[in-house]
Amino acid sequence: MSLTQHKQTAERLILALLILALAAALWMLRDVVITAFAAVLVAVLLREITDLLHTRLRMPPGVALAGAVIIAFSVPIGAAWLFGREVSVQSTLIAQAIPGAIDRLGQLLDPIGIGDAFRHAVQNLLDPAMIANRVGGIASSSIGVILHLLLVIFGSIYFAAQPRLYRTGLVKLVPPKGRELAGAALDTVGVALRRWLLGQLAAMALVGLLTGVGLLLLGSPSALTLGVLAAALEFIPYLGPILSAVPAIAVALVHSPQQAVWVAGLYLLVQQAENHLIQPLIQQRAVDIPPALLLFGVVAMGTLFGAAGVVLAAPLAVVFYVLVKQLWVREALHTPTPLPSED
């Protein structure tokens, strides 16, 4: 083997070791990585509002960014101020209704012989000692959650203020011959995330509105709170709609099994409308991720990153899907495939 071949082998070995070291470091810092990604996602929204204010209202870039920050963070604060008390009261009513719903469901299960087993399982789940342990764990981690939220807020502002700076920095980490492709891939991911996020926010608003109005028409208590919950959990694919339906059905079950059936039917109808009408219309220019890929993406992200991974599974899947299409399918396999930045 010649000296040149030895040198090439050594360079490849060093590169492989560096990649493994980077992967290990990212795994050890996975909490920071997922927090940084959340900040990037919020920055995408801030940048969209900033560009809108800058182009439509002719605001200077710095003023437009300040306006975007005020708008983005004042909307949830304003909603909490307007509806917070009502939501708090309705949440209390929901919590009070759950024991009655459990008892009613146990009675319905008695004829088939599993009512006692159901009650026993729920009693173990709601055991005061277990609840105290969970509350203690939540309290001990609350400071960490607050710190991560602050990191997301301030990180998103920094990312939105100078997106080109961070894009250039990432591109420079790539060898010179691959920098043009890396820059194009980052731009494509940016377009995909922006379209997906705007579409998802619109879908969440429509689902929350349809659910709240439907529950109100059915005479279900706490319609406002349950509508807000449905909108918020719509961000989580597959699991979110199920989690939002459980308290609504439990509250309805206190009144009658028939009411619970109507409420369950409403949630099913809203989800069918969301799957076959709302999402296709809103996300038609975004990334069309295959359902099975998104489903297992939720499982994978939950396994890797815990609850935060489940919440951010959909946008993470968007990033991975776009990168695979551009870097592997198109560039490595030379197979034509559409990208969000090209339509």
pLDDT digits (tens, 9 = 90+) for 262-300: 999 999 999 999 888 887 777 666 677 888 888 898 889
How crowded is the C-beta side of 151, counted as CA atoms within 13 Å? 14
Contact 227/212 with Cβ under 8 angstroms? Answer: yes
- In which band, very low, low, confident or very high, does the pLDDT at 36 lie, cut at 50, 70 and 90? very high
Q: Is the pTM of this model over 0.85?
A: no
The backbone region for 58, taken as left when phi is positive above 0, alpha when psi lies in -120 to 50, beta otherwise, is: left
Q: What pLDDT is stored for residue 289 in this prediction?
A: 80
Average pLDDT along the chain: 83
Q: What average pLDDT does range 205-229 have in this prediction?
A: 90
Contact 313/297 with Cβ under 8 angstroms? Answer: yes
- Which one has a higher pLDDT value, 101 or 219? 219
Q: What pLDDT is stored for residue 127 in this prediction?
A: 53
Q: Which amino acid is at 181?
A: L
- Judged against a pLDDT cut of 90, whether residue 306 lies above it is answered with no
Which helix (DSSP H) or strand (DSSP E) does residue 80 occupy?
helix 61-109
- In which band, very low, low, confident or very high, does the pLDDT at 1 lie, cut at 50, 70 and 90? low
Six-digit token pair at 127?
């055991």
User: How many CB atoms sit inside 10 A of residue 196's CB?
Assistant: 25
* Whole-number Å distance between alpha carbons of 39 and 58: 26
Grouping H, G, I as helix, E, B as strand and the rest as coil, residue 288 is coil
- Which one has a higher pLDDT value, 260 or 99? 260
Q: What pLDDT is stored for residue 139 in this prediction?
A: 44
